[in-house]
Structure 1
Amino acid sequence: MTFTFPNCYMARDYYEILGVSRDADKEELKRAYRRLARKYHPDVNKDPGADEQFKEINRAYEILSEPETRARYDRFGEAGVSGTGSSGFQDVGDMGGFADIFESIFSGFAGSGMGGPSQKRRSGPVRGDDLRLDLKLDFREAVFGGEKEIRISHLETCGVCNGTGAKPGTRPQTCSTCGGSGQVRRLTRTPFGSFTQVSTCSTCNGTGMVIEDKCDACGGKGANQITKKLKITIPAGVDNGTRLRISAEGDAGQRNGPAGDLYVYLLVNEDSEFQRDGINVISEITVSYLQAILGCRLEINTVDGLVEMIIPPGTQPNTVMKLENHGVPRLGNPVSRGDHMITILIDIPNKIVPEERELLEKLASIKGERTGKGGIEGFLGSLFHQR
C-alpha cells in the first residue's frame, strides 16, 4: 500500500489506511496494525516520510480499536473524533493495548532502542547440554562391534549442595533487583509514545534467585567438571559416521533438571587389505598365470580369518568371486551378513626361465599359435582372453 501526504493535512479514511474492511473485527485490526507498524516504524524504515506514515497508522488504529470512538467515526467521520487521541501515543496506561503490541512487534530489533528480545525467567528445571565424542575404530571393530572403554569430561551435579550452589544449611534467596521475576522492565518515552523495555536481570542472570553463601565444593555453580571412564557397546556393522547416543552422560542439568546425552560419532580407520561397500567386504588377490590357467585351491584372508576358495581353470583377469556370508553384519540384525567380493589379479611374468619357455612354446605349437612379434609373453596374454 502506498501513502501520499499533501503539504496541508487532509483526513483519510482510517479503514483504508489500515487496509481493512469496515466490518473488520478487533483481531483483524490488530493484525493489520502490527504489519504496518513493523513496516513503517522510523527505527526500521529510514525512507523520507516514514515517520508521518507511522503517525497516521497509529491514529487510525487508535480510533478504530476503541468501540466508542469507532462508532462515532462510523457515524460522523473525522468530525466525530476530532478531539479524541492524538497523532502520537498516550502514556502506557492509556494506550489501549499499544504497549503490548509494540513490545511484541519490536522485541526482535536488538539495538533499535526498543530493547532486545524479551526473555522469560528460567526458574524451573533446565536440561543439561548434550556432548559429542569422536571415537576411532579399526576395520574389524566396526564389523563385529564389541565393548569399548572411553574417557569423557562432563559436568556432574555437586554432591555437597545437590545442585543448588548454596552452602549446606542455606538456600538461594529471591533476587531483590527483579523481585524473583528474572526480568527488569524500564519505561522509555520517545516522540512516538512510551515503550516498555524488558531485559534479563543482570543481578541474577534471569534465574530470579541469588546465592549469598556459595557452596565451597562447586563455587556456587551447582556442578563440577568431572573426568570419568565409560564402557560402551559398539553394535556389529557400524560404519563411518554412525552416531551412538549414551543417555544421561552429557552435562548435568540445572535446578534438578535432567542431564543431557552423550553422542559418540564413530570414525572407522582404513584397512590395508579390506574395503567396504555397504555390507559387503571387498579385497583383491593375485594368482600366478599357471594357477589361473590350471585352477587351484587357495586360502583367502577374510574378516573371519582364512577361508578356502576354489579358483576355476581358465580364470580371467579381474574376475570377481564371492564368498557368501563373510561380509559385514547388517546393523540391527547381526544374523544377516553381506558377502566378501574378491577380485582376481593375474601375475604374468616379464621373464621366464628356459625350461618354462620350452614348455610354453610346445603349448603354443599344440594350440597352433606360434609366437609372433609379441613373443612368448604375447602368447601368455592371449590365453587370458580366450576360454
Structure 2
Amino acid sequence: MQFKDYYEILGLEQGAGDAEIKSAYRRLARKYHPDVSKEAGAEDKFKAVNEAYEALRDPQKRAAYDRLRSRGYRPGDDVQAPPGGFGGGGAYGSPDLDEIFAGGGAAGGFSDFFEGLFGQNRRAAGGFNTGRAAPPRGDTRAKLAVPLEAVYQGSSVRINVNGKTLDVRVPKGIREGQVIRLGGQGERGDLLLEVEYAAHPHFEVDGRNVIHILAVAPWEAALGATISVPTLGGSVELKIPPNSEAGRKLRLRGRGLPGDPPGDQIVELEVLAPRAHNATQIDAYVRLREAFGDDWRRA
C-alpha cells in the first residue's frame, strides 16, 4: 500500500486548524469538481481532495493518520502496518449508527490506503489490519456519498458494489451519519452504508442549511441588482440590496435540505473586481478611482 500525504493534497501544514482544513477542501473541491473543471485529471484530483478531507476532518481519524505520518513516510512509499494496526493500542472505530431501512445499495470509493488505515477489519491476509473486530453478524460497513440533489428530492443513486450494479433508494432529507442497511449485500452479511454528503460545486452544508457563495461585481454590490442564483430546487431570482458589502449573508427561506422545519439557503456575497481587458474597461476603472479618491478605505 502506498502512503498518501493528505496535508500535501490539501496544501496544508500538519498543524492546520479545522477552519483551514474546511476552507482548503471547499476551494479545491470547487476547482476540481468534474461538473465544472476542464483540467486534465480533474476527477482524480477531486477524489483525492475528498479522501484527504474525510481523513483530516474527523479528530480520531486525523490522530491515527498523524501517528503514521510521524514515521517519516513520503507519498508513494510502501506502508507496512505494525501488529495491532495503526491505531496503537485500540483502533479507530465508528460510533453506533441508526438504521434507516433495508434496500439496494452502494459503497465508498476511497483508496486502498484509506481503507487500510480506517476501514473495517475485513481484508485478506497480507492487507492492513486495523485491530478492529468484525461488525456483528459479519455485516460490512461502508461510506455512501450522496449527491445533495438526491437528499433534497429523495431519489435513487446507482452504484457498483461487490461486482453488482444496484440502485439505492435515498430517503428525502436523510442526514449525514445515518445508515442504510442492505440485506445480504455485504461480504459475509448485510451491507451498512453510512451516509455522507458528496462534495458539491455550488453548495456546502451546515446542518439543514445550505450555503452558496455568490460572486457579485462592485457595481452590483454598490447599486443593488437582481441576480439568478442556483438552489437545489432550481434557480431563483435574488435581490441584492444597495450598498452590500463582501460577506453579507442573504437568506432564502425553505430552500435548504428537507426537514421539520426545512433548512434555508444562505447566500454569502463575494465582491469580485472583473479584469480589465480593453481600453474602455481600463478607462472605467480610472474614472472610478478618480470618483472615489485615495481615501475610500477610511470612508
Category of TM-score, reference length = shorter chain: 0.3 to 0.5
TM-score by length of 2: 0.45
Say which structure is richer in strand.
1
